[in-house]
Amino acid sequence: MKKIFILLCLLLAACATDTLNQSNSADPTPVSASNRLLYKYEYSEMCRGCHTEIYEQYKDSMHANSFSNPIFNAQYFKEVVPRALKDSKFLADARKCLMCHSPVVYMNYSGLVSTPQQAANYESGVTCDFCHTLSGYADNGDYLQNPSGKKQGPLQNTTHHAEYSGFLQVGDYCGRCHNATSHNGLEVKSTFYEWQESSFGKRNLVCQECHMNKFGILKNGIAEFQSGVAAHLNIGSISVDQKKHDKLYTHAFPGAHSVSQLEDALNIEFRVGSRSADDKGRFAFGIFVNNERSGHKMPSGSSDLRFMWLSVTAKAEDGTQFPVTLLPKIRRGAVDYSVAGASPDDSEVLGNDVPLGSRLYRSVFVDAKGHQSLFHYDAVKNVFDNRLNAGEIRSEAFEIKLPKGFAGHITLSASLSYLAAPSSYAKHLDVPDFKPVTVASHKKIISLVANSATPRK
Ligand code: HEC
Ligand code: HEC
Ligand code: HEC
Ligand code: HEC
Ligand code: HEC
């Protein structure tokens, strides 16, 4: 009896939504943020019963946590809100934070959310229902929602509560939130544009193909997808699997915050030409830094916060370390943002996070006073950007100074590390430190012969 009752409720609920849909279906015009509250978003918990696997993948993603994660939360409530309450010029920008970091709250709450309690009435994060009722964007970044509340999805011929939408399958769909311009008119996030300009963008290999495949990354250039059912209908203790699909999109959205993901992301390789030092004892070699797997620059996203660096060591068999120098050498006193420690703000911004002299890949934003700023809303200018382009293989040159006439084995070790944000930033916001992740490493033992031009001992 209980089972039948639940089934009836489901059917009734279905009919109820269908009637509602019909009254709207004559007018497919999407509703923008200015017309909020027409549609009541459903909680992701609601979807869990039938879309169990998708929910499990989603619940730990950065989308589910884009509001609750400690660094956003600290920055928003400790820095942004107090400032917006004092400075009306900053108010609109402060409100916009939630447009991307908690769109359901943004759509329901028209004022500035200034306490966690105000947000707590709605589901935070980028939710299932938000993503699946999105049908477009207006010019000003407003969302276009599908007013019928039918869940937009990639499957053809699905149930009453969902309908096919091609919009979910384009780069724009992800891209509009992953690009941001600040109140100072500065482009502070450009993952979407970076992708558009890349070979991936040009051949329309979209964000979803990499970030929503089974591994969240291309393996040997190929995207392998999950297959199976997208839903189960749970009626009491009976679970009825729905139709099987060959291709399903995974909802874990791994990125810079997932260590295992980063560990596979890039690749480095030594390039050694000569087998001996020159007549001054200098031995030159190179490293290829390979970003072929990412569809945008690396680091991307919040590129003001993210740091990636290449460090190299050279060791003789007896353990002697030879100092490794980046080429071309920088002049003493010159400002060079691509070398850790070679710009005036580095000691404050980077502290001891990055070994001095490492090659840094970063973009540098400065505030109105010309100081490097990790707070994108303070930034007025982007003064430097040497990040790896999508699909790029960058070549770096190094040299070591060897004792005259050196012969024997040398072990070259290189590692590429990634840090989501430096400890100076974590300290400022009073959140736990981020740990650097090794995104690639390579070791090579080379056997050097004595340079015939140098006198033997
Ligand atoms: C950031 C936006 C986003 C969020 C959050 C999101 N989805 Fe999706 N979902 C997508 C996209 C995009 C696709 C389809 C990709 C394509 O076809 O290219 C998809 C596909 C699906 C599908 C079709 C089957 C499949 O796996 O391909 C279902 C069902 C679905 N999502 C349910 C959910 C549920 C339930 C949640 C929450 C637990 C959720 N989605 C959260 C964007 C999202
Ligand atoms: C009572 C069970 C049930 C609940 C609850 C439910 N769904 Fe579904 N949903 C289904 C079934 C069944 C399908 C069809 C699956 C198929 O075709 O394989 C489906 C399909 C979908 C699709 C695919 C649509 C398409 O055409 O591509 C999306 C997207 C989706 N649901 C989103 C959601 C979201 C978001 C929630 C929560 C707000 C939710 N669903 C809650 C049962 C449910
Ligand atoms: C060719 C595959 C590919 C495509 C296409 C792609 N990405 Fe990525 N993305 C990666 C890889 C690889 C990484 C680095 C490893 C990781 O963080 O997952 C990454 C990282 C990211 C990060 C974290 C970056 C950081 O430094 O903090 C974000 C955010 C992101 N991608 C969003 C997107 C968006 C949005 C799109 C579409 C506009 C997109 N990606 C297209 C492969 C891709
Ligand atoms: C409503 C806005 C919105 C949409 C639409 C959206 N994202 Fe995001 N996404 C975010 C926000 C906000 C974060 C950052 C959460 C954080 O770190 O605080 C994020 C985080 C991510 C991350 C994790 C980055 C990391 O550093 O770990 C990836 C990967 C990603 N998104 C990919 C996608 C893809 C692929 C799509 C399209 C299917 C998409 N996003 C659609 C807002 C959005
Ligand atoms: C247009 C959409 C958008 C707007 C507006 C926006 N963000 Fe974000 N934000 C994102 C996305 C997407 C990411 C993730 C990028 C990445 O993974 O590197 C992000 C990342 C962050 C991060 C890093 C989080 C982490 O986990 O590493 C912080 C902090 C942050 N945003 C704060 C803010 C604040 C404060 C505001 C308002 C002043 C704001 N954002 C406005 C889209 C947006």
Taking every pair of Cα atoms in the chain, the longest distance, rounded to a whole number of angstroms, is 98
Instruction: Please say whether the beta carbons of 168 and 151 come within 8 A.
Output: no
What is the sign, positive or negative, of the torsion defined by CA atoms of 22, 24, 30, 31? negative
Distance 58 CA to ligand 4 centre (A): 12
Q: CB within 8 A of 270, min separation 6: which ones? A: 285, 286, 287, 412, 414, 442, 444
What is the Cα–Cα distance from 421 to 306, expressed in whole angstroms? 5
Residue 229: nearest ligand to its CA? 2
- Count Cβ atoms within 10 A of the Cβ of residue 353 and give its class: 0-12 exposed, 13-18 middle, 19 or more buried: buried
Instruction: Please say whether the beta carbons of 314 and 321 come within 8 A.
Output: yes
Tokens of 132: 């699946």
Distance 215 CA to ligand 4 centre (A): 16
Per-residue pLDDT of the chain (457 residues; tens, 9 = 90+): 333 323 323 332 333 332 223 223 222 333 344 444 557 899 999 999 999 999 999 999 999 999 999 999 999 999 999 999 999 888 988 999 999 999 999 988 888 999 999 999 999 999 999 999 988 876 545 677 776 778 999 988 767 788 888 899 999 999 889 999 888 999 999 999 999 999 999 999 999 999 999 999 888 889 999 999 999 987 778 778 888 999 999 999 988 788 777 777 899 999 998 889 998 999 999 999 999 999 999 999 999 999 999 999 999 999 999 999 999 988 888 899 999 999 989 999 999 999 999 999 999 999 999 999 999 999 999 999 999 999 999 999 999 999 988 999 999 999 999 999 999 999 999 999 999 999 999 999 999 998 765 444 4
For residue 457, count other CB atoms closer than 10 A to its CB. 9
Tokens of 13: 């609920």
Distance 135 CA to ligand 2 centre (A): 16
In a mutational test of the pocket of ligand 1, which residue from 63, 128, 157 has the highest number of ligand atoms less than 8 Å from its CB? 128
What is the Cα–Cα distance from 34 to 13, expressed in whole angstroms? 28
Smallest CA-to-CA distance from 388 within 366, 416, 408 is with 416
Smallest CA-to-CA distance from 420 within 306, 262, 263 is with 306
Instruction: Please say whether the beta carbons of 295 and 221 come within 8 A.
Output: no
Q: Which amino acid, one-letter code, is at 292? A: E
Q: Ligand 4, closest atom to CA 67?
A: 18
What is the Cα–Cα distance from 310 to 331, expressed in whole angstroms? 20
For residue 452, count other CB atoms closer than 10 A to its CB. 9
What is the Cα–Cα distance from 381 to 385, expressed in whole angstroms? 11
Residue 28 CA, distance from chain mean position: 33
Is the minimum distance from the CB of 124 to ligand 1 under 6 angstroms? no
Instruction: Please say whether the beta carbons of 93 and 377 come within 8 A.
Output: yes
Instruction: Please say whether the beta carbons of 326 and 318 come within 8 A.
Output: no
